[in-house]
Amino acid sequence: MTIEDVLKELLGKYFSLVSKFSLNFIEGTQNENGVRETFKYLQGLGMGGKQIAVTSKLLAFNQKILQNRYDNLTMLGITPQKINALAHLLGFNPETIQNHYDNLERLGITPQKINALAHLLGGNAKTMQDNYNNLIRLGITPQKINTLAQLLSFNPETIQNHYDNLIRLGITPQKISNYAQLLYLNPGTIQDNYNNLRRLGITPQKIRNNPQLLGLNPETIQNHYNNLRRLGITPQNIKTSAYLLARNPETMQDNYRYLTNTLQLEENVVQIRPQLLAENPDSFAKKLRILKFEILGLKRNSEFNPNDYKIFFMASPATLMAKKRFCIDNKINYKNNINILYTPWKKLILKINPLIDKLELKNKGEELTRPYKLHYDKWMGEYRKWTKSFVSRRGRRLIRWI
């Protein structure tokens, strides 16, 4: 039998997927028995007839060569599942694969990323370097490229086209750098997503401020929008806090229930302040405890209705503690007028020192807050990690009362 007849027999209806180049390549290197043995070997790797036909040039190699290449890929950390899905990688000899692998590592791509995006091993070193240099030129940081290594699959012309389209929509270079994953999407998809957001009443300015929304398709955005409406968030408030459309509906629902059921916030309080849904619930609960115990000086069993202190919901604990200290140091009675802690720093400082230099006044509030901010930012960061671990272990949030 001719090699063509053997392939027709083995591949059946998928023979039409075999290119003329691959057929000539196989005919020049294999005999009938060799083709049958290699075909059986590829089947043993889990490859079906269609996949073998698409990567038919592999039939030009004997089992020993392919096994050597397979072993080399697994040695580099590429899983059998990945090799099966990316069987064309078996068409590269170990030296070439190692060269491509080493080049990706030089570009800062971690072994874990290379394993996850093993198809990058099929790109030659020069192409990867050119694509990398182009991304750097556009302001994409090495850290972002490592995180979004898939971008190295796109040639400079494609990336530039996607970049220019985002610029036309008013997305700044800095925002593109921060949300570089948008460069994956072609202009048509981005435009469809943009038009859908406009249809929902999201203004161009809000889209520019929250370009991550352009990465979500209309169905996903509509699902997120509908969920917020079910929680009682008005269309106007959704427009104002458009970034919520990027949040997972289940997370939004869980946060809403925790705020209203556990922390006893009135539903309308949350509904007109939907930004509360984007806060880390554990951090917010801790903020209320800081307000109760450290700012108001109340006891554990003292009556405390968080709805009476709505103006403090978005204030940072560091700012409240700094203003409390300022009031104590300057003999300002804040306990009988708690709202004074919501007073802007400039106005609060001018009460004590109306002759203060303007430049000093501008920086004084930040200077007074900085020590508390350093403390609370570090502490709250660790607290969030700890509470996340607590939730995963116990299946509930740490704070169940204020």
User: DSSP characters for 62-78?
Assistant: -HHHHHHHHHHHHHTT-
Tokens of 136: 């750097």
* pLDDT, mean of residues 355-363: 88
Neighbours of 233 (CB within 10 A): 23
More confident residue, 167 or 17: 167
Residue with tokens 């790797």: 45
The pLDDT tens digits for 50-80 are 999 999 999 999 999 999 999 999 999 999 9
pLDDT of 400 strictly over 80: no
For residue 241, pLDDT beyond 80: yes
Residue that is written with structure tokens 């401020």 in the block: 209
This prediction has a pTM of 0.82
The 10 Å Cβ neighbour count of residue 338 is: 17
Report, as an integer, the average pLDDT of 139-144.
96
- Of the chain, the percentage scoring pLDDT greater than 70 comes to 100
CB of 118 closer than 8 Å to CB of 82: yes
* pLDDT for residue 348 is more than 80: yes
Which has more confidence, 26 or 402?
A: 26
Least trusted range by pLDDT, from 35-39, 136-140, 239-243: 35-39
- Check pLDDT > 90 for residue 94: yes
Share of residues in the chain with pLDDT > 90 (%): 70
The DSSP call for residue 113 is H
